[in-house]
């Protein structure tokens, strides 16, 4: 199926899934050289990545939390077969939508791919919009203890009576740092954070602060940059193209599988709005408009996150030679040894 504009599917960075396995000790960060292309949805990351990969013989490593799922082609805006034939792409189609592809699994699989690229003398080009994936590549995943299953059972029972926003309020009272990162309806992360606290008496945020910060290698970070109005117009236009190319039929195929709507893949922007249209809880026109609106809000959150990213080179759409020059200089000095 075709990609639309060579872009990756929009999915809020802060809702990419972490499971308890993500917090096991030993989930260390990647320590080698790499080029990152980061940025908001519809900004032009994929097009820039293809150009640079072809020019310099790089291989693309996916860092988008929807493109890892099979059968989610149009909505995830995966590279086309023709684009995959031009440049090697890694970490696409790694899981079925019925699975929970965690940040811990991404870190393990990405490190293996990155080291393989370096061992072959190829600089990896990591491309995507899932901030959590870039974070764990740079920082690893903080250790935390196992949670007592009886504590989780009690939390779940409480949530069934009072609702997950009520438990989120409880989390706010004991661990405001964690609560600030977690949506009031994100039951998995709320139960994990409260479970850690009630099992150990120590907050999840405190456990994560214990992680030793490892000196990160110099990495080249690029961000396609567009005026906000232009970015929003591209988001709207891209969604129209997605619908034209059969996005509704792709969503219908997932809908007919009867997958749990709480699965990470089912919560992706665009997918969940069209599920609502198929449920009959809103019209198709309403679903499309809501998906566009949520995509714009997502882009705004991404831009907020990216403002905190160090040493980020902003590349205007008319200044791609700037990116070429930066990559040339980086390749001249960056070691390619595996780690």
CATH number at residue 179: 1.10.20.140
Task: Mark whether 98 and 52 lie in a shared domain.
Answer: yes
Task: Mark whether 244 and 289 lie in a shared domain.
Answer: yes
Task: Mark whether 175 and 223 lie in a shared domain.
Answer: no
Is pLDDT of 281 > 90?
A: yes
Q: What are the DSSP E strand ranges found in the chain?
A: 35-37, 59-62, 89-90, 124-127, 220-225, 312-316
Count Cβ atoms below 10 Å from residue 244 Cβ, excluding itself: 11
Total domains, the chain: 2
Q: Is residue 286 part of a domain?
A: yes
Of 7, 269, 263, 238, residue with least CA distance to 129: 7
- Tens of pLDDT, residues 141-185: 766 677 888 998 999 999 999 999 999 999 999 999 999 989 898
Q: Is residue 275 part of a domain?
A: yes
CATH number for 279:
3.40.50.300
Asked which of 182, 209, 236 is the last residue of a domain, the reply is 209
Asked which of 188, 209, 230 is the last residue of a domain, the reply is 209
The dihedral over CA atoms of 47, 50, 56, 60, expressed in degrees to the nearest 10, equals: 120
Task: Mark whether 186 and 319 lie in a shared domain.
Answer: no
Is pLDDT of 241 > 80?
A: yes
Task: Mark whether 128 and 199 lie in a shared domain.
Answer: no
At residue 204, the pLDDT reads 86
Q: Is residue 1 part of a domain?
A: no
- Tens of pLDDT, residues 12-39: 333 344 444 444 434 788 999 999 999 9
Is pLDDT of 56 > 70?
A: yes
Task: Mark whether 185 and 312 lie in a shared domain.
Answer: no
Task: Mark whether 224 and 321 lie in a shared domain.
Answer: yes
Higher pLDDT, 322 or 17: 322
- Tens of pLDDT, residues 187-203: 988 999 999 999 988 89
Domain enclosing residue 308, as ranges: 13-143+216-333
Task: Mark whether 161 and 125 lie in a shared domain.
Answer: no
Q: Mean pLDDT throughout 229-239?
A: 97
Task: Mark whether 33 and 107 lie in a shared domain.
Answer: yes
Q: Is residue 253 part of a domain?
A: yes
Task: Mark whether 131 and 260 lie in a shared domain.
Answer: yes
- The pTM score is 0.78
Asked which of 157, 183, 209 is the last residue of a domain, the reply is 209
Higher pLDDT, 206 or 48: 48
- Tens of pLDDT, residues 100-157: 999 999 999 999 999 999 999 999 999 999 999 999 999 887 666 778 889 989 999 9
Q: Is residue 7 part of a domain?
A: no
Of 202, 207, 219, 303, residue with least CA distance to 29: 219
At residue 282, the pLDDT reads 97
Q: Is residue 338 part of a domain?
A: no
Task: Mark whether 96 and 223 lie in a shared domain.
Answer: yes
Token pair, residue 174, equals 């004991």
Asked if residues 7 and 42 have their Cβ atoms less than 8 Å apart, the reply is yes
Is pLDDT of 8 > 60?
A: no
Q: Is residue 339 part of a domain?
A: no
Q: Mean pLDDT throughout 304-319?
A: 91
Q: Is residue 6 part of a domain?
A: no
- Sequence-ordered list of residues with C-beta below 8 angstroms from that of 244, at least 6 positions apart, any chain: none
Task: Mark whether 131 and 92 lie in a shared domain.
Answer: yes
């Amino acid at each position: 199926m075709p990609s639309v504009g060579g872009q990756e599917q929009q999915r809020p960075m802060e809702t990419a899934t972490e499971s308890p396995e993500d917090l096991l000790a030993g989930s260390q960060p990647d320590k080698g050289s790499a080029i990152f292309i980061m940025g908001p949805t519809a900004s032009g990351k994929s097009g820039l990545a293809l150009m640079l990969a072809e020019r310099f013989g790089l291989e693309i490593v996916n860092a988008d939390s929807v493109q890892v799922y099979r059968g989610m082609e149009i909505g995830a805006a995966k590279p086309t077969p023709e684009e995959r034939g031009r440049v090697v792409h890694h970490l696409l189609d790694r899981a079925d939508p019925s699975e929970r592809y965690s940040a811990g699994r991404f870190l393990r699989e990405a490190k293996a791919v990155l080291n393989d690229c370096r061992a072959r003398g190829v600089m990896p080009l990591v491309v995507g919009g899932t901030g959590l994936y870039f974070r764990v590549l740079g920082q690893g995943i903080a250790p935390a203890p196992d949670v007592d299953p009886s504590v989780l059972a009690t939390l779940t029972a409480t949530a069934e009576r009072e609702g997950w926003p009520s438990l989120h309020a409880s989390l706010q009272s004991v661990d405001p740092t964690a609560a600030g990162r977690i949506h009031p309806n994100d039951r998995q992360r709320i139960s994990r954070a409260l479970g850690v606290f009630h099992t150990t008496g120590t907050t999840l945020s405190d456990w994560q602060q214990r992680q030793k910060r490892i000196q990160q290698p110099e990495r080249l970070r690029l961000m396609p940059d567009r005026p906000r109005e232009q970015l929003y117009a591209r988001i709207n236009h891209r969604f129209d193209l997605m619908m034209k190319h059969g996005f509704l039929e792709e969503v219908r195929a997932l809908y007919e599988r009867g997958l749990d709507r709480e699965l990470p893949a089912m919560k992706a922007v665009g997918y969940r709005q069209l599920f609502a249209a198929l449920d009959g809880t809103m019209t198709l026109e309403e679903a499309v408009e809501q998906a566009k609106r949520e995509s714009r809000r997502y882009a705004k959150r991404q831009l907020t996150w990216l403002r905190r990213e160090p040493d980020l080179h902003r590349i205007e759409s008319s200044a791609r030679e700037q990116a070429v020059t930066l990559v040339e200089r980086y390749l001249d000095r960056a070691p390619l040894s595996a780690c």
